[in-house]
């Protein structure tokens, strides 16, 4: 899943070669599920790093050999119990280029169909929360949504006409 490797680096201006450590991780995905009423399916999930709950969109790691788009569809199904008729890639970012070389891809999922119950992993505790898409900017502004990669996904969504949504604030 994750590994740590040592990287040697000598600054271009000279100086001594130094060691740095890199976290080797698979690519990650986030998916913004928007239903036909314009509501986003969020996951309110306990996060051990902050010892509290966050409001997030479905997301996770790409399995070995799995494309980001396939991982997005899988995570959507596992975390919400829905499948999408249409998934559009919004773009990608480096989650933490100081320590990691992986990417986080963001998608928007439309034409949702409920196909079953969510299937959380044994170490996950979460509940689904529906929020009107127009309310998301306010939740980011007031600190209700704090996960940096979730905020980034909504920024990537904003203004993407091919996603079927013109503005997150409208």
As a whole number of angstroms, the distance between CA 93 and CA 29 comes to: 10
As a whole number of angstroms, the distance between CA 22 and CA 100 comes to: 6
Domains present along the chain, CATH in parentheses = 26-160 (3.90.79.10)
pLDDT digits (tens, 9 = 90+) for 106-123: 999 999 999 999 988 888
As a whole number of angstroms, the distance between CA 104 and CA 16 comes to: 33
As a whole number of angstroms, the distance between CA 58 and CA 126 comes to: 11
Which strand (E) or helix (H) includes residue 72?
A: helix 68-80
Q: In terms of DSSP bridges, do strands 39-47 and 126-132 run parallel, antiparallel, or are they unpaired?
A: antiparallel
Q: What percent of the chain has pLDDT over 90?
A: 75
pLDDT digits (tens, 9 = 90+) for 40-98: 999 999 999 999 999 999 999 999 999 999 999 999 999 999 999 999 999 999 999 99
Q: What is the dihedral of CA 150, 155, 157, 159, to 10 degrees?
A: 170
- Identify the weakest region by mean pLDDT among 1-5, 67-71, 165-169: 165-169
pLDDT at position 141: 97
As a whole number of angstroms, the distance between CA 116 and CA 46 comes to: 22
Cβ contacts of 118-125, under 8 Å, gap ≥ 24: 118/78, 118/79, 118/80, 118/81, 119/77, 119/78, 119/79, 119/81, 120/78, 120/79, 124/45, 124/46, 125/45, 125/46
pLDDT at position 164: 62
Q: Which residue is associated with the tokens 């680096």?
A: 9
Higher pLDDT, 134 or 11: 134
Give the number of C-alpha atoms closer than 13 A to the C-alpha of residue 62, restricted to the C-beta side: 17
Say how far residue 160 (Cα) sits from the centre of its chain: 17
Residue 159 in this model has a pLDDT that exceeds 70? no
């Amino acid at each position: 899943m994750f590994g740590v490797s040592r990287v040697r680096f000598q600054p271009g201006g000279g100086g001594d070669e130094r060691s740095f450590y890199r976290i080797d991780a698979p690519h990650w995905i986030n998916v913004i599920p928007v239903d036909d009423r314009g509501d986003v399916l969020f996951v309110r999930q306990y996060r051990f790093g902050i010892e509290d709950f966050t409001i997030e969109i479905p997301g996770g790691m790409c399995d070995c050999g799995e494309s980001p788009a396939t991982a997005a569809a899988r995570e959507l199904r596992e975390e919400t119990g829905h499948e999408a008729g249409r998934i559009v890639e919004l773009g990608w970012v480096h989650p933490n280029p100081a320590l990691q070389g992986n990417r986080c891809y963001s998608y928007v999922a439309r034409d949702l169909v409920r196909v079953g119950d969510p299937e959380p992993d044994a170490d996950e505790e979460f509940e689904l929360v529906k929020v009107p898409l127009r309310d998301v900017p306010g939740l980011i502004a007031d600190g209700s949504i704090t996960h940096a990669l979730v905020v980034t996904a909504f920024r990537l969504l904003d203004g993407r006409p091919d996603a079927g949504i013109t503005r997150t604030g409208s």
